[in-house]
């Protein structure tokens, strides 16, 4: 199977992380055991002790403890909102299929608006509608027992279990160093650099190399903006690249830079030599082009290579 096909279907060939995978599996197992023990002790026999969606929550809290969908706000608010919406739909919408669909759709809407997206919540809402007579007779009590009780137990177990491992403490803020707005060393990352960095992490990171590259690009641009960014020296006949990867990568050759009006504005006419839109001519403002251009490049046989700053300065002298 080709790498391109693997990329399309979402498979990323990273080295297996056996230690963290084993810890995640044990943690999920322990959380469900504790959940059943506590639920059976404190839940009346007539009430469903455990909601099936807690199994999905356990996957997130122990397999991806630092993921944005796994954090306490998402876990607690997501499940409780889903339970309320599910019970409301079951009670006030007569058509069972329509009630189930609206319960899940309404849960997604509320999660998006309140920034508490937690996928297992969709199952919590659905269970309130199609869970059978035992669930229906609970009414809004379903929100407290079993849902809130289940959520509290899984959350407490995740905090206690992950606390034994310094690199995966939960919530994520407990394992993250305090951020300081200090200058950092910047460079140009390659795809292989990010693959290596992710492979060196001791826990699964719910983010792709492309996401990291995008984050780096945005941070790089933001720092330049804060420091009073000035457009680089751009010259006709030179080629520039945005330094990105995949479908976002381009090489543009400046054909002309022309003044426009009396506001000291300039328009750049360029030709796309490589990447999306190849062989197309286009125009943009000088400032816009300068923001896009990460560095100058030159053709070397069958590839484009970056021209180092020192060489660029010499060429322009």
The model's pLDDT over 129-181, given as tens digits with 9 standing for 90+, comes to 999 999 999 999 999 999 999 999 999 999 999 999 988 889 988 865 443 44
Structural contact between residues 110 and 122, judged by C-beta atoms closer than 8 angstroms: no
Hey, which residues does 239 pair with through a beta bridge?
253, 297
Q: Among candidates 283, 199, 194, 198, which has minimal Cα distance to 244? A: 194
CA distances from 65 to 203, 226, 307 (A): 9, 33, 42
199 & 126 share domain: no
H-type helices in the chain, by residue range?
3-8, 18-42, 53-63, 72-92, 96-114, 120-130, 133-136, 141-142, 149-162, 191-200, 209-226, 286-292, 309-316
Mean pLDDT of the chain: 83
139 & 16 share domain: yes
56 & 13 share domain: yes
152 & 210 share domain: no
H-type helices in 43-148, by residue range?
53-63, 72-92, 96-114, 120-130, 133-136, 141-142
The model's confidence at residue 286, banded by pLDDT at 50, 70 and 90, is confident
Range of 209's domain? 191-222
Please give the pLDDT value at position 260. 81
- pLDDT, one tens digit per residue, over 202-260 is 555 566 556 666 676 666 666 666 666 555 578 999 999 987 766 778 999 999 998 88
Buried b (16+ CB within 10 A) or exposed e, 179-200: eeeeeeeeeebeeeebbeebee
The number of domains in the chain is 3
36 & 169 share domain: yes
As a three-state string, the secondary structure of 184-205 is CCCCCCCHHHHHHHHHHCCCCC
Hey, which residues does 251 pair with through a beta bridge?
241, 274
38 & 135 share domain: yes
76 & 217 share domain: no
Q: Record the pTM.
A: 0.64
CA distances from 302 to 111, 311, 315 (A): 49, 21, 22
């Amino acid at each position: 199977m080709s790498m391109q096909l693997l990329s399309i279907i979402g498979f990323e060939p990273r080295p297996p992380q056996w230690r963290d995978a084993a810890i995640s599996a044990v943690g999920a197992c322990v959380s469900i055991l504790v959940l059943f023990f506590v639920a059976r002790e404190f839940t009346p026999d007539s009430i469903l002790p455990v909601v099936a969606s807690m199994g999905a929550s356990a996957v997130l809290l122990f397999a991806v403890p630092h993921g944005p969908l796994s954090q306490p706000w998402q876990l607690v608010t997501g499940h409780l909102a889903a339970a309320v919406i599910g019970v409301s739909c079951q009670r006030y919408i007569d058509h069972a299929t329509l009630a189930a669909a609206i319960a899940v759709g309404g849960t997604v809407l509320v999660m998006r608006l309140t920034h508490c997206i937690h996928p297992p919540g969709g199952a919590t809402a659905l269970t309130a509608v199609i869970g059978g007579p035992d669930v229906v007779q609970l009414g809004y009590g379903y929100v407290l027992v079993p849902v809130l009780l289940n959520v509290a137990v899984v959350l407490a177990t995740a905090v206690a279990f992950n606390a034994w491992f310094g690199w995966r403490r939960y919530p994520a803020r407990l394992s993250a160093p305090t951020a300081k707005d200090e200058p950092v060393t910047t460079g140009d990352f390659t795809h292989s650099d990010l693959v290596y960095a992710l492979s060196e992490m001791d826990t699964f990171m719910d983010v792709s190399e492309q996401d990291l590259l995008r984050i780096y690009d945005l941070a790089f641009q933001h720092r330049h903006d804060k420091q009073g960014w000035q457009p680089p020296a751009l010259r006709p006949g030179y080629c520039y690249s945005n330094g990105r990867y995949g479908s976002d990568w381009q090489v543009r050759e400046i054909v002309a830079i022309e003044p426009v009006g009396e506001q000291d504005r300039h328009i750049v006419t360029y030709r796309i030599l490589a990447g999306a839109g190849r062989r197309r001519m286009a125009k943009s403002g000088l400032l816009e082009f300068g923001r896009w251009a990460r560095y100058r490049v030159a053709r070397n046989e069958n590839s484009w290579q970056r021209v180092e700053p020192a060489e660029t300065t010499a060429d322009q002298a």
